[in-house]
Structure 1
Amino acid sequence: MVREVRKAIGDDMELMVDSNHAYNLREAIKLSKSIEDYDIGWFEPPVSPEFYNRYAELRNATIIPIAGGECEYLRCGFHPLLRTNAVDIAQPDIAACSGLTEVKKISVLTSTYGKEIVPHSWGTYIAISAAMHFISNLDNVPGRMFNSNFWMEHDRTDNELRDKVTIPDFEVKNGEIKVSDKPGLGVGIDEDALKRFCK
């Protein structure tokens, strides 16, 4: 599947693999080795989230950057991932890890360890818009030859709660998102649709 997707999208588009911690370490290493030639942007989360050492072992066994952290809470939960060199990319879920203030602290910790951060954003446009505002306030590491590309997930699976209840105020164009300048997160709520989901 990875080979066919790479063939379909060409070499100029980023391709990431998300396994939702479906593998043990042996399986994750085997899969990583079999897809390294397809220029994978990152492999997220490959093994169960509590196995920090296995993340680190996988990271040392493949050239594919390893991402994880969507199941972690608070900066204290991210510290072991970073301290053990288990991930290249930290993926805090803003809605689950205690909000924008805490995820900003996680981003400082991540930067201190020289790692990247890409927020996990799944659910309604409230979570997606929070991630958009968060990444728009990240700083580039000084001294780099190239500025970082700040990434975020934009969930496009079927989700009536997201698509009927929350109304976003942003546009995705050529792979980039313009941040809303409306108050708060810039998300509207369709109260009639919300009532239908409350029944």
Structure 2
Amino acid sequence: MAKIDPSTLKITDMRFADIDGAPKRCTLIKLYTNQGLIGYGEVRDASSRTYAAMLKSRILGENPCNVDKIFRRIKQFGGHSRQAGGVCGIEVALWDLAGKAWGVPVWQLLGGKFRDRVRIYCDTDSEGGGRDMGKALRERMAQGYTFLKMDLGIELLMGKEGCLSAPLGFLEKMREYRKTVFTTPHGSIDPRAMRGEAYDLFNTAHGFTGIHLTEKGLDCLEQYMADVRAEVGYEIPIAIDHLGHIPLEDCIKLAKRLEKYNLAWMEDPVPWQLTDQYRRLAEATTVPIGTGEDIYLKENFLPLLKSGGLAVVHPDVLTAGGILETHKIGDMAEDYGVQMSIHMAESPVACMAAVHVAAATRNFMSLEVHSVDVPWWEDLAAGLPKPLIRNGYIDVPDAPGLGIEALNEELIRKKLHADFPEAWAPTDEWDKEWANDRQWS
């Protein structure tokens, strides 16, 4: 390849490949340039490529090295959770291109690194009781992982008599909707399943569901946690997630029951927007509280940090605003004495974006990987060490950009999502999408 001139680099195209099972549906992005460089990005798991495609006309012809300029142009089109996927995926690809153009890793562009390897926390699924989960976590420890996470919530109580109270029929309807939407191939979902009573119940926020834990339910969850600790001991950190849509008062009851089990954090107990409820929960328990994977932009973390309701911020690079915004969130959290861990349930592209943020952020603790049991996951990207995760850590790369030399095109073709059977198809229909984007008169 001819010598790259960063000053004349221009974006010429954007294309996508949707894959399944990494561990969820992931939309990979390629940004093409006039000098042959390709930047890799990714739309947030279980999101839509449309969030990125609609921004193509707004970035064509721009110099990708002007990352912050382009981000400020497109960030108005992002939103919380999966709605941020397009903005963040493009931002990641811009950093990849900038690093490749200037010949340095992304962490160097962020100001340098605080660590040479990034600690991984391994999210783990298990069926059965607490002893089964404990054995699954013990296997992770044997693989070298030094930080763990597991689910602990009302899903474990479904079907157990006397553990939950709710309006009769409510829980059954929620499970019916979940089964329909989350296990049915995307292209075969009946649009009618996306509305109606089951949909409304599933999308009812925690405090409005009427679901409560009974004393028996609290006993069962506490015993589950006790059984886990009996298997793995108390020395290794364990975070818990997916409590279920229960109100604040039940979260407080459960947190108090779990204090003795030395939790790393309790994740997303109530919707992140309810700042006062986070403050009340934090004041009622010694269990550390964490949230952030659905929050877009640093300013939306600020009320929670000011409230004292968080011990851990937990952004996802593909929702928070991308690489630089996540780095800024970590720095802001440090000002409030709050630790940062990073949520990540996506492909190696998003993983490496998070690795660079983690390397460059002082108060970082651990990065999630949710694909340890996906045997082909790390084969999606070439140029990275094999195995990528060694003894519970990922080494921080010194290669330019994200450190990914190329994507495994043969593997991508094998894993393509049924709705998008062609990888990197032309997206010319988005080249001239236009609107008056200015937000003032």
Provide the TM-score with structure 2 as the length reference. 0.40
Residue in 2 that maps onto 1:191: 409
Question: In structure 2, how many angstroms separate the alpha carbons of the residues matched to 1:24 and 1:157?
Answer: 32
8 Å CA contact retained: 2:312, 2:341: yes
| Residue number in structure 2 paired with 1:131 | 354
Q: 2:241 corresponds to which residue?
A: 18
- Where 1:153 maps in the other structure, the secondary structure is strand
Change (3 A) 1:168 1:83: farther
The counterpart of 1:31, out of the listed 251, 254, 258, is 254
Describe the SS at the equivalent of 1:122: coil
Q: Are 1:178 and 2:395 matched, yes or no?
A: yes
Q: For residues 8 and 167 of structure 1, what CA distance do their matches in structure 2 show?
A: 37
Q: Which residues in structure 2 correspond to 1:1-150 (within 5 Å)?
A: 1-19=224-242, 22-139=245-362, 150=365
In the superposition, relative to structure 1, how do residues 124 and 60 fare at CA in structure 2: closer, same or farther (>3 Å)? same
**Cα offset, 1:22, TM superposition:** 3.3
Q: Does the 8 Å contact 2:331/2:362 carry over to 1?
A: no
SS in 1 for 2:258: helix
Q: Which moved more, 1:1-10 or 1:150-159?
A: 150-159
Q: Contact between 1:121 and 1:128, CA under 8 Å: does it hold in 2?
A: yes
Question: Aligned-pair distance for 1:169?
Answer: 2.3
Contact 2:255 2:287 (8 Å CA) reproduced: yes
Q: What secondary structure does 2:308 align onto?
A: coil
Task: Quote how far apart the aligned CAs of 1:135 are.
Answer: 1.2
- What is the one-letter code of the residue matched to 2:393? E
| Partner Cα separation in structure 2 for residue 95 and residue 164 of structure 1 | 21
For 2:396 and 2:244, locate their aligned partners in 1 and report how far apart those are by CA, in whole Å: 31
Cα offsets for 1:135-194 (capped at 9, x unmatched): 111225xxxxxxxx7211111366689456345825333333322223222234111222
In 2: Cα distance, 1:129 partner to 1:101 partner: 14
Query: Any conservation in 1 of the 2:331–2:361 contact (CA below 8 Å)?
Result: no
Q: Which amino acid aligns with 1:150?
A: M
**Aligned-partner residue type, residue 177 of structure 1:** I
Instruction: State the number of aligned residues.
Output: 191
Which structure is richer in relative contact order (CA contacts within 8 A, separation 6 or more)?
2
Runs of 4+ in 1 over 3 A off after TM superposition: 157-168
Over 3 Å counting, the alpha-carbon distance change for 1:158 and 1:173 in structure 2 is closer
CA distance in structure 1 between the aligned counterparts of 2:272 and 2:352, rounded to whole angstroms: 25
- RMSD of aligned alpha carbons: 2.3
What secondary structure sits across from 1:87 in the alignment? coil
**TM-score, length-scaled by structure 1:** 0.85
Give the unaligned 5+ runs of structure 1. Answer: 141-148
When residues 48 and 158 of structure 1 are mapped into structure 2, their CA distance, relative to the original with a 3 A threshold, is: farther
Distance 1:10 1:129 in 2: 31
1-structure distance, mates of 2:225, 2:382: 33
Larger radius of gyration: 2
Q: Which runs of 5+ in 2 are unaligned?
A: 1-223, 422-441
Change (3 A) 1:49 1:181: same
Residues 4 and 156 of structure 1: CA distance in aligned 2, closer, same or farther (over 3 Å): farther
In structure 2, the residue corresponding to 1:136 is in which secondary structure? helix
Contact persistence 1:22–1:48 (CA under 8 A): no
Match for residue 152 of structure 1 among 367, 371, 380: 367
In the superposition, relative to structure 1, how do residues 26 and 123 fare at CA in structure 2: closer, same or farther (>3 Å)?
A: same
Q: Distance in 1 between matches of 2:390 and 2:286?
A: 31
C-alpha deviation, 1:132, in angstroms = 1.6
Q: Which amino acid aligns with 1:76?
A: E
Q: 1:175 to 1:164 in 2, by over 3 A?
A: closer
| Segment drifting more, 17-26 vs 128-137 | 17-26
